[in-house]
Chains A and B, each alone.
Chain A
């Protein structure tokens, strides 16, 4: 034996490296998959990739275990026992597709509305949306209604972009970063890298979050705010900006509607709308000419104060004045909000002062000439290095839309949208405000065997764009774009199953779900949802007659479906992360990407998109069929990705079009996929440096966007401090206009559709006796388990196999509970038994837990005694999908009244110590899982990679 044994220091990692795109969450990082033989040796970040630049998070680095999970579905299945029993019979793909075609074809011939097609963590919405459009049902959306719509809509209606995944702080230049309610996020790795970079430069990170973990743990200042009161805190910051006169007037004048005149004529049909000229152009008062002027006249110097007379003699006032009045009100003074937010007036004032100091005294200047929308040349780019980001903690409240708008208004007052050091758009953003993309699916649009006239989801500009039936009621099963949720741009997936079971607004025949765990952690009120999935009518038939489900894994939802279409893992599939959908662009890059099969499936499974395209051809949907009736894309999804054209020259992928050198627009290129694969599975185009900032008003960027097909209008995006579409809905509520809401909706429209943002308390707290439920309850995802998929992952579940309820130490003292003691947590809907862990870094009025760790026995390939099902729990059981019934007996969805965003962070609870130990409750019966292979009792993954003789 030698003292330093020889080691093979140069063993190649694998035989080959395949570059593709991660799918362990929505961040969509580039990955290098090292393969040895047909086995995955190692997965690491792709250094060249615009999203992750080589790094990879805790989830992505555990991808091997996701790919080889024993919970993977094996083959198509048909239910043979009752729903929930998990009794299935394996069938062939031919049989599965025939069943699906017959069910779907029947509905399409009869009444396309009777199909509800909803997808979960779908990264192919431009395809799934197209398919649903071609099918002709109005009932399509993805899971954005319980995820992101408040952020998307709040942003898009205000400045044509959004936090969510449509923009990033300028990590290179920002000096002060204010982060609201973000745990893990869509921009998982960019945020981590950005925070590391910012702090390394000595910048300051302020985290506004009831919980001090993750990003909040490394923040330089933690604002442990009470859930749902962020808007009040931001309102106080805005108050301070106005009071201290720390606002960027030039920026407001140049890029916003702050000078636009608002008609002041109480009772009139146009009260609160913008004063417009005969061409419909908004008006400002030009202080130079002392006359009204087209707001888009670049030479006009709009007055920001003072009431002005309109030609018809009525008064109008500029937006700025109304906004200042709103926020200089004593209601938003830091002292006035301190009790409600739990943030001291001193802290609020200091943060306001810091924001202002960094924005205005630490201004940064890039020597980068650019030209603005009006053709004015600027030799520099002036930056205000304050940036902000927000997500779930704002989004999942019933006041999320208006709160999100307030954050954007704070950014705009400080002049920090898309300037150096501020918050930056990712191309193809910004869009117009509001985006000129309208929803489709009103009653007249739905005809048997006819495609819909346009995409399902869009941005109504007023009541005229609602999707209503002939009686003025909702035309969608989820009641999206109805008076209940007029601006629900992502749909309300959380309402689909319960509405269908109640036949409200109507019954459906087929529920078609993809990758959404609706029978468990993706639904509010799980017991109620399970009742809905298994509800029967007087004949004993299921009220939702047919359920088709596609997933890659044996989730809790699988046993409730009638037909299972097994999907592949992310390493076995084609995908296309498209500019038509939710691209992977970064602020300096236009980018899109693909997945391609790097490993062959060892099971009888097919990528869902392949199946959807096949079904499209079998059903004869025009976009998927040639004139002779043959399939348009016989090569499946790969064929579609390359050859589909949404408009001439514009397809799912923007890169390597035409002869391979064109991007944006160009003829389909048969070599396109290979070019992507050769390029690392992505395409990126670096923006011209002169286009990199002020994209909303950058002539070069706007023109380039039109040339490349990513922008529809050459007009700049004007930031809407005052949102006219909201006022249009409000006017309808006041009785104006042809389209009239039901009377029960009028009060909601008047109160919540305020064109200037404001704070109101989250609904649940005001509708249950808050004394009886004194605590707020929220959830977050652990960084290593952003998806609920994590629990089947043998490595990730070792890190978190059961969740605890984290409570403030003072709450523990009050109820006499110590770490690991069992408690009952009650809401107005039900109660959950769980174990606590005491901590200091949480708002004292808030309890929280890791979301989606709790699993139901029988699912995910876990043993019946797994901690996930015996100790792990969900707060979903406590969250009602409906608000308590109002007068007249009508129950609104537990959602934001404007966007329909599920308000699952509004939850209010009471806590008491439970006797003894045991298991979590409610403790559901184990699900059957026939056809699934047994899970191994030990793993020695990688033993096969050891070289002989070692």
Chain B
């Protein structure tokens, strides 16, 4: 699949934003008062900025962004529509949280709103993952673990952002522990995913695609058109195996290994903020490469005809 940069930016940016929103909300419920009003507001604003930037970017790949509201209508069948609904719905409790903090209103509703925000964040990211996981046409995506990868990586990247706030609030060690677990989970699901798609040898052949009984040794004589068409450009992107290996190593290092080491060193040294900042930097690179690879490694069945 052709890696569209707007979609990569959208899923990684809003993923981190929803991750941050999730951890912030969780903290508000489980450890009320961990963050003061203004840092909490700052975290919330950062989360919403990442989310909004991602959502805005996602409209860049639309042919008619001005019609984007129509995407709220088909939640009964479409994971993309569900994602849109969940995203919009999540703004409501999150915005109310912001209003409470800005206006200094009583915080009695905060746990409820935080709970709704966390649920919204999970739901939105899950829907994003399901957009891909529901596509039967792409074996690398059509897997139950795909939404969990989206969730785990949103949690990890958003978590690193939250960890900075937590560190400022003096909970660096606890944040380190949580991040250690979160990054490890992320690494585990991703490694498991890669080994699973590598092991999955069930492929369709061009003979299957043509369906004529008894055909063998089918080769293209002439493609339908001399130059690549939309389907070939959009669905026919391929990346060489050796590049895949290299890029997977980049992902492992920058999204998991370096952040884990950094978190560990931070925890041991007490330089939490520097450690989390370094982790954020490399994880940003890592998650972008991970998302690029998720597309580039995906094989669309329609390409059998070409």
Could you tell me which A residues sit within 8 Å of B by CB distance? 1, 213, 797-802, 837, 839, 841, 867
Residues of B within 8 A of A867 (CB): 226-227
Residue on B with the closest CB to A868?
A: B226
Q: Considering the complex, which residues of chain B in the window 192-240 have a beta carbon less than 8 Å from any beta carbon of chain A?
A: 221-222, 224-227
Find out whether the CB atom of B226 lies under 8 angstroms from the CB atom of A801: yes
* Bound complex: CA A1 to CA B227 (Å): 38
* Bound complex: CA A841 to CA B222 (Å): 13
Residues of B within 8 A of A799 (CB): 224-226
- Given contacts A799-B226, A837-B222, A867-B226, could you give 17 more A-B pairs where the C-beta distance is less than 8 Å? A1-B70, A1-B73, A213-B221, A797-B226, A798-B225, A798-B226, A798-B227, A799-B224, A799-B225, A800-B226, A801-B226, A801-B227, A802-B226, A837-B221, A839-B221, A841-B221, A867-B227
CB distance from A557 to the nearest CB of B (A): 25
* Bound complex: CA A1 to CA B71 (Å): 12
Q: Considering the complex, which residues of chain B in the window 18-67 have a beta carbon less than 8 Å from any beta carbon of chain A?
A: none
* Bound complex: CA A837 to CA B220 (Å): 10
Chain B interface, >50% SS class: loop
CB distance from A2 to the nearest CB of B (A): 11
Could you tell me which B residues sit within 8 Å of A by CB distance? 70, 73, 221-222, 224-227
CB distance from A212 to the nearest CB of B (A): 9
* Bound complex: CA A767 to CA B79 (Å): 72
Residues of A within 8 A of B226 (CB): 797-802, 867
Residues of A within 8 A of B224 (CB): 799
Residues of A within 8 A of B222 (CB): 837
Residue on B with the closest CB to A797?
A: B226
* Bound complex: CA A841 to CA B73 (Å): 53
CB distance from A480 to the nearest CB of B (A): 39
CB distance from B227 to the nearest CB of A (A): 6
CB distance from B294 to the nearest CB of A (A): 30
Residue on B with the closest CB to A803?
A: B226
* Bound complex: CA A800 to CA B227 (Å): 8
* Bound complex: CA A801 to CA B225 (Å): 8
* Bound complex: CA A79 to CA B7 (Å): 56
Residues of B within 8 A of A798 (CB): 225-227
* 20 pairs of residues in contact across A and B, judged by CB atoms under 8 Å: A1-B70, A1-B73, A213-B221, A797-B226, A798-B225, A798-B226, A798-B227, A799-B224, A799-B225, A799-B226, A800-B226, A801-B226, A801-B227, A802-B226, A837-B221, A837-B222, A839-B221, A841-B221, A867-B226, A867-B227
CB distance from B201 to the nearest CB of A (A): 26
CB distance from B224 to the nearest CB of A (A): 7
* Bound complex: CA A729 to CA B224 (Å): 51
Residues of A within 8 A of B70 (CB): 1
* Bound complex: CA A515 to CA B225 (Å): 28
Residue on B with the closest CB to A782?
A: B222
CB distance from A54 to the nearest CB of B (A): 25
Residues of B within 8 A of A801 (CB): 226-227
* Bound complex: CA A797 to CA B226 (Å): 8
Residues of A within 8 A of B227 (CB): 798, 801, 867
Residues of B within 8 A of A841 (CB): 221
* Bound complex: CA A837 to CA B73 (Å): 49
CB distance from B265 to the nearest CB of A (A): 51
CB distance from B154 to the nearest CB of A (A): 32
Residue on B with the closest CB to A806?
A: B221
* Bound complex: CA A839 to CA B222 (Å): 10
* Bound complex: CA A802 to CA B227 (Å): 9
* Bound complex: CA A867 to CA B225 (Å): 13
Q: In the complex, which of the residues B70, B222, B225, B227 has the most CB atoms of chain A within 10 Å of its own CB atom?
A: B222
Residues of A within 8 A of B73 (CB): 1
Residue on A with the closest CB to B221?
A: A839
* Bound complex: CA A1 to CA B70 (Å): 9
Q: In the complex, which of the residues A799, A800, A837, A867 has the most CB atoms of chain B within 10 Å of its own CB atom?
A: A799
* Bound complex: CA A216 to CA B227 (Å): 26
Residues of B within 8 A of A213 (CB): 221
CB distance from B222 to the nearest CB of A (A): 8
The 3 closest A-B pairs by CB, nearest first: A801-B226, A798-B225, A799-B225
* Bound complex: CA A798 to CA B230 (Å): 13
Residues of B within 8 A of A802 (CB): 226
Residue on B with the closest CB to A853?
A: B226
CB distance from A836 to the nearest CB of B (A): 13
CB distance from B232 to the nearest CB of A (A): 13
Residues of B within 8 A of A1 (CB): 70, 73
* Bound complex: CA A841 to CA B70 (Å): 52
* Bound complex: CA A799 to CA B223 (Å): 9
CB distance from A807 to the nearest CB of B (A): 13
* Bound complex: CA A704 to CA B226 (Å): 52
* Bound complex: CA A448 to CA B227 (Å): 56
* Bound complex: CA A66 to CA B221 (Å): 27
Q: In the complex, which of the residues B221, B224, B225, B227 has the most CB atoms of chain A within 10 Å of its own CB atom?
A: B221
CB distance from A873 to the nearest CB of B (A): 14
* Bound complex: CA A801 to CA B229 (Å): 13
* Bound complex: CA A837 to CA B222 (Å): 9
Residues of B within 8 A of A837 (CB): 221-222
* Bound complex: CA A867 to CA B227 (Å): 9
CB distance from A292 to the nearest CB of B (A): 61
CB distance from A180 to the nearest CB of B (A): 22
* Bound complex: CA A840 to CA B206 (Å): 18
Q: In the complex, which of the residues B70, B221, B222, B226 has the most CB atoms of chain A within 10 Å of its own CB atom?
A: B226
CB distance from B78 to the nearest CB of A (A): 14
* Bound complex: CA A802 to CA B226 (Å): 7
Residues of B within 8 A of A839 (CB): 221
CB distance from B164 to the nearest CB of A (A): 44
Residue on A with the closest CB to B224?
A: A799
* Bound complex: CA A839 to CA B219 (Å): 9
Residue on B with the closest CB to A212?
A: B221
* Bound complex: CA A213 to CA B227 (Å): 21
* Bound complex: CA A414 to CA B123 (Å): 79
* Bound complex: CA A386 to CA B127 (Å): 66
CB distance from B298 to the nearest CB of A (A): 25
* Bound complex: CA A80 to CA B35 (Å): 84
* Bound complex: CA A610 to CA B182 (Å): 84
CB distance from B226 to the nearest CB of A (A): 4
* Bound complex: CA A841 to CA B220 (Å): 12
Residue on A with the closest CB to B226?
A: A801
* Bound complex: CA A837 to CA B223 (Å): 12
* Bound complex: CA A320 to CA B178 (Å): 103
Residue on A with the closest CB to B227?
A: A801
* Bound complex: CA A797 to CA B227 (Å): 10
* Bound complex: CA A798 to CA B228 (Å): 10
* Bound complex: CA A362 to CA B261 (Å): 87
